[in-house]
């Protein structure tokens, strides 16, 4: 109960007039999202849904220092057609508290984050399926985890102009403490100790024509995890991203590409977890219709495991943006269609999905 009070207190603090806090500027963001994927059809079809209400408060203290606090309420459910059982997990997730301090004239930023364990732990067996499914790198749920343990991350980011480019380099170290992740049979618990993580990031951006181009690669090196007495590694990760945005007529165009690679690792079961790669390309064209900004988009995502095709997903979505008073309101609706491919080829499973988001910013 005590842990649940932490985000409550943060919410209450966020709702106070900021002037009373002595804060010069601030933003509150609330972004309810609903995502649902259905795998297969008829009896045996599985549906995974997540209703997430993430919220964030960004508080600058002067020109150089800012703190942001974020957490979420999430409800995830896995249901199978024709089965009387389902797996549901619900509650607050961890709360992330981060402070950023800028050095010089945008020379560097020192960042320190704490992951407060306000989420769900010692997850009962009936809820474990739902808790795991939202972690898919392929489907990318808005809240991927219900809890990751008390952890601290410290890092630095440096930016320098290099010719007509801006070069950004950063690195961080994350240390997490152990936590009771799952409840196992016979009243045992899965005591999980995440391995240390070192992240490095290299990025470049520059104006190109009328627009802006940015690209970057982030590499995460993980130490061994421990589950009770078993140690194992889940595989390092590399995320490459590139974005080009430019005005187009009275609107704009955005082309975004990313590729996530996770190296071969091990599972707690002792079996190996093959490498996987998720590649994604998204094209969005925005235009103004009266006072409303409309941004339809099309996205294609390909998932590979161990060198074979594992999944394909097409996302079509429309985002709207309008201002009312001091609120910036961004509703989005999307539809997904795709396939999952069985290991070793052969059978496929159809995927259909739906997404609705309502992002609200208070400036």
Partner 1 sequence: MQRIGRTSLLFALVTLVALAPPATAQQVVTTSTAALAKLQIARAANPRSVAANRALGIWYYKANRFAEAREPLDLARQLDPKDGVSALYAGLAAEQLKDYTAARNAYNAYLQVGRTGSAKKEITARLVLVTKEEAKAAARDAVAREAQIAQVRGTPRTVAVLPFRISLTDPAYQPLDRGLADMLITDLAKPGKLTVVERDRIQAIADEIALGRSGQVDAATAVRAGRLIQAGSIVQGSLIGPTPQAITMTAQVFSAQTSEQVGRAVPQSNVLDRLFDMEKAIARSVFADLNIPLTPAELQEIDRRPTQSLQAFLAYSRGLEAQDNGRLDDAARFFDQARTADPGFGAALQRAQAAAAAQSSTTAKVESSIRNSAEGGVVAAAERGSTTTTGLNTTLNTVVGDVNPTTTNTMTSQSTTTGPPPTQQNTTAQATGTDQPAQRTGQVTIIIKKP
Q: Which sign does the torsion angle of CA 134, 137, 142, 144 carry?
A: positive
For the chain, report the end-to-end CA distance as a whole number of angstroms: 31
d(CA 57, CA 93): 16
Beta bridge partners of 115: 96, 151
Closest contact distance (angstroms) between CB of 187 and partner 1 is 14
Output 34 or 211, the one with its CB closest to partner 1.
211
Bridge-based pairing of strands 65-80 and 33-39 is unpaired
d(CA 4, CA 32): 19
Q: Contact 120/143 with Cβ under 8 angstroms?
A: no
Output 309 or 334, the one with its CB closest to partner 1.
334
Closest contact distance (angstroms) between CB of 234 and partner 1 is 5
Closest contact distance (angstroms) between CB of 3 and partner 1 is 9
Output 78 or 304, the one with its CB closest to partner 1.
78
Q: In degrees to the nearest 10, what's the CA dihedral of 10, 14, 20, 23?
A: 100
Closest contact distance (angstroms) between CB of 361 and partner 1 is 9
Q: List the structure tokens of 314.
A: 């097409």
Closest contact distance (angstroms) between CB of 304 and partner 1 is 13
Closest contact distance (angstroms) between CB of 217 and partner 1 is 9
Closest contact distance (angstroms) between CB of 180 and partner 1 is 10
163 φ, ψ (degrees, to nearest 5): 65, -130
Q: List the structure tokens of 348.
A: 């496929």
Q: Contact 65/100 with Cβ under 8 angstroms?
A: yes
3-state secondary structure of 231: strand
Q: Contact 172/207 with Cβ under 8 angstroms?
A: no
Q: Contact 357/33 with Cβ under 8 angstroms?
A: yes
Beta bridge partners of 186: none
Closest contact distance (angstroms) between CB of 205 and partner 1 is 6
3-state secondary structure of 99: strand
Q: Contact 310/340 with Cβ under 8 angstroms?
A: yes
Q: Contact 318/334 with Cβ under 8 angstroms?
A: yes
Q: List the structure tokens of 360.
A: 């609200």
Closest contact distance (angstroms) between CB of 328 and partner 1 is 11
Residue 300 DSSP symbol: E
């Amino acid at each position: 109960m005590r842990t649940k009070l932490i985000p409550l207190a943060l919410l209450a603090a966020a709702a106070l007039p900021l002037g009373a806090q002595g804060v010069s500027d601030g933003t509150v963001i609330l972004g309810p999202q609903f995502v649902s994927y259905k795998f297969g059809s008829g009896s045996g079809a599985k549906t995974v849904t997540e209703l997430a209400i993430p919220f964030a408060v960004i508080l600058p203290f002067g020109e150089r220092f800012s703190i942001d606090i974020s957490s979420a309420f999430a409800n995830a459910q896995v249901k199978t057609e024709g089965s009387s059982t389902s797996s549901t997990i619900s509650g607050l997730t961890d709360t992330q508290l981060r402070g950023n301090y800028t050095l010089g004239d945008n020379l560097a930023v020192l960042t320190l984050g704490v992951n407060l364990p306000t989420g769900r732990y010692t997850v009962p067996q009936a809820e474990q399926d739902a808790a795991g499914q939202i972690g898919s790198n392929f489907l990318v749920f808005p809240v991927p985890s219900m809890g990751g343990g008390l952890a601290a991350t410290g890092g630095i980011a440096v930016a320098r102009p290099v010719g007509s480019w801006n070069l950004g380099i950063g690195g961080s170290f994350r240390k997490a403490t152990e936590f009771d992740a799952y409840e196992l049979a016979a009243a045992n618990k899965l005591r999980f100790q995440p391995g240390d993580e070192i992240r490095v990031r290299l990025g470049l951006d520059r104006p190109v024509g009328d627009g802006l181009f940015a690209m970057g690669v982030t590499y995460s090196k993980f130490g061994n995890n421990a589950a009770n007495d078993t140690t194992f590694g889940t595989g390092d990760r590399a995320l490459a991203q590139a974005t080009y945005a430019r005005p187009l007529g009275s609107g704009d165009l955005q082309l975004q590409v990313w590729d996530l690679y996770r190296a071969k690792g091990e599972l707690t079961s002792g079996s190996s977890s093959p490498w996987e790669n998720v590649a994604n390309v998204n094209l969005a064209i925005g235009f103004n219709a009266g006072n409303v900004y409309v941004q339809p988009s099309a996205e294609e995502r390909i998932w590979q495991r161990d060198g074979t095709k594992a999944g394909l997903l097409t996302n079509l979505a429309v985002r709207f943006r309008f201002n009312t008073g001091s609120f910036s309101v961004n509703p989005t609706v999307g539809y997904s269609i795709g396939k999952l491919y069985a290991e070793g080829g052969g059978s496929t499973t159809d995927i259909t999905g739906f997404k609705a988001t309502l992002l609200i910013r208070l400036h």
